[in-house]
Structure formats: C-alpha cells, structure tokens
Structure 1
Amino acid sequence: MEIAAVLGEFLTLFVMAFALGMDAFSVGLGMGLIQLRLKQIFSIGLIIGLFHMWMPLLGMVIGGYLSSQLGVIATYIGGGLLLLLGLQMIISSFKNDDKRMITPEGFGLFIFALSVSLDSFSVGLSLGIYGAKTIITIFMFGIVSMFLTWVGLLLGRKVQAWFGKYSEALGGSILFAFGIKLLFPL
C-alpha cells in the first residue's frame, strides 16, 4: 500500500509541476515568435527551470515553518493559496493584453524567469505547509518547467501564439482543483 501512496504523491507532484509549467509554456509560445537561436532557447529553458526549483524551495521552507506553527489551519491556508493562484491564472488567460513581451536577454531574461516562476513560490509555500517531499518536488518542478519552456519556445518559432491562452487556463484549473483537494480532503 505504501508504494501506491508514493506513486500517488509522485503523480500529484508531476501534474502540479505540469500545471505550473504551462504558464512558462504559454509565455514561451509568445517569446518563441521572436526569432531566437537554439542556444538562446536552451539557456532560457535552463534559467526558467532553475527558477522553478529555487522559488518553490524558498516557499517550501517558509511553508514548513508555518506548518509547524499553525498545524491544521496551515493546510487550509495552503489550499486557499492554490485556489487564489489557480483563479488568478484562469482570469489572466482571458485578458487580451499582449504587454507581456520582455526581451529574453540579460536582465530581461531574469525578469522573464522570475515572472513565470512566482506562482511556483506560492505553490511551494502551500506544499511546505502540506509537508511534501522537498527534493522530489523541486526537481520535478524544475525539469518539467524547463522542458515545457523549451517546447513552448520551439513551437512558438513554428506557429502563431493562438494556443497559449488555453494552456494557461488549463494550468490554473489544475491548481484550483488541487486547492479544493486540500480544503476538502476525501
């Protein structure tokens, strides 16, 4: 039965990492419309992957501290944060502003990576409160977001960005569902 629990947690973390990576994927689609060299695409994905490891780690450390201080109430706070984050992603996917265009070089790359990984901090905070396994979580978030960023950038080179808004809404829906799961455990 313990193997099933470990596989269940692994699958849950993978789906959550995929949901968070969809934001990087959708922004990568838009960025991919700029003619980027493959070397640039590689480094952008790597940087975003590192940010998706560092930000949830920071959130998990803070969340773990809050969990030991607040107990059961902290689980509800974590669920509420996931609900708000998912809702924010869903709402932002329906906005029609194309002002997110940042040049993915130098300081612009830092801003770009930070902006698509801020939601990972909030999720890390929630997971730290919930007590998720740190190493597995940060590596899962980093690898999945790096891969999805690469896919988004490469697809953006090939096609128009008409696909991007739907992926952000899907990612927000998944986070919203995990927030409900935390608030109303079976």
Structure 2
Amino acid sequence: MSPLSIGVLAISMSIDAFVASVGKGTTEDSPGLAMTLRTGAIFGVIEAITPLLGWLAGVAASQYVAEVDHWIAFALLAGVGSHMTLQAWTRAEDEPRATSLWATVFTAIGTSIDAMAVGVSLALLQVNILVIAMAIGATTMLMSSVGLIVGRYVGGRFGRIAETLGGVALLTIGTMILLEHLSAAA
C-alpha cells in the first residue's frame, strides 16, 4: 500500500472514534488534558490492536483464498464502508452517551470492529500490518483526543457527515484494490 492509501485508511478507521469522542465531548463541561489524553489513548490502542487480530485471522485463511483475495478485500472494505455510511444516518440522534471509563473502553471496542474486518482484508494483500496498525492507532488517538475537545464546542452537528466520508473512503479503497488487481491481470 502506498503512504497515501495508508493515510486514507488510517483516517477512515478513525472517523467513527472521532465521532464517538465528539459525542463524549458534548456530555462534558470542560474536558481536561488528562481526560482528553486518556480517551485518545484508549481509542488509539484498541484501534491499533484490532486490525492486527483481523490480520492474524486473515493470514491463517489466506492460503485457501489466494485466487479471490482481491474480491474478498473489496467485499470487506465495501461492506464496512457501506455499513459505516448507513449507520451514520440511521442511529438515533438523541442516543444517550455513557461517560465512565468502561463505557469509553466498550465504545472504543465497538468502533474498532471495522478495523478488525479491514485487518482480515489486509492479510490477503501482503502489506506491512505493523506500519498500518501503528498509523491507524496513532491517527485514532489524535482524532479521538481532538474529537473530545471539538464535541465540547460544536456538539453533534457534523458527526454524520464525517462518518459518511469515512465510509465512502473505505469503499473507495476497496474499489481501488479491485481495479488495481484487475488491471494487473489484464
């Protein structure tokens, strides 16, 4: 994967954590530095671990799917991207938000499931998963920390748009992988 693709993927994987952090920020009067860094670290670490877990599962299965791996990568990324986009517009706007440490951990796990699915598809592409996982984790940490602060000031006004853009970016990456493979095979 090119550095640009890794960057787009890292941002795409971080959008839902950013949106969740914006939501958390709307419930806080004044999130301090400690809370901001803690929230970012929780989201970042979990978001970095899940693509590694998905990649390990994908490596175990890759020998069985080598001839259709580009289609699987496309399907997973397109599915996750489509799901992110659909979820952005179908969740309840007044959904209550919990603010405890465990609520943050569970939210981080929930927002990182898509990164696990992406990890499975990355195993089929022979990429350096450690670089990608670190990029995803660092980007998520930064975006979650910023999201907490942004949430305090702008609330949930732009969350759906950001989540939709993340979903569209994943769908685009999946399509690029498919087209790249099909053009190389021609």
Q: TM-score, normalised by structure 2?
A: 0.90
The equivalent of 1:3 in structure 2 is none
**Cα separation, partners in 2 of 1:72 and 1:168, compared to 1, 3 Å:** same
Map 1:15-164 → 2, pairs under 5 A: 15-35=8-28, 36-98=31-93, 100-164=95-159
AA partner of residue 25 (structure 2): G
Q: CA deviation at 1:163?
A: 1.0
Worse-matched range after superposition: 84-93 or 65-74: 65-74
Residue by residue over 1:36-85, the C-alpha shift from the partner in whole angstroms, topping out at 9 and shown as x without a partner, is: 33311210110110011110000111112222222121221121010011
**Uncovered stretches (5+) of structure 2, i.e. residues with no partner:** none
2:185 matches 1:174: no
Alignment partners' CA distance in 1, 2:46 and 2:35: 16
Alignment partners' CA distance in 2, 1:24 and 1:77: 25
Alignment partners' CA distance in 2, 1:145 and 1:69: 32
Worse-matched range after superposition: 98-107 or 15-24: 98-107
**Cα separation, partners in 2 of 1:129 and 1:99, compared to 1, 3 Å:** farther
Contact 2:51/2:116, CA 8 A, preserved across alignment: yes
Alignment partners' CA distance in 1, 2:96 and 2:53: 27
> Alignment partner of 2:2: what SS?
helix
Alignment partners' CA distance in 2, 1:137 and 1:69: 24
Q: CA deviation at 1:100?
A: 4.9
**Cα separation, partners in 2 of 1:96 and 1:102, compared to 1, 3 Å:** closer
Structure 1 runs (4+) greater than 6 angstroms displaced: none
**Matched residue pairs, number?**
179
Contact 1:44/1:104, CA 8 A, preserved across alignment: no
2:24 matches 1:10: no
Q: TM-score, normalised by structure 1?
A: 0.90
**Uncovered stretches (5+) of structure 1, i.e. residues with no partner:** 1-7
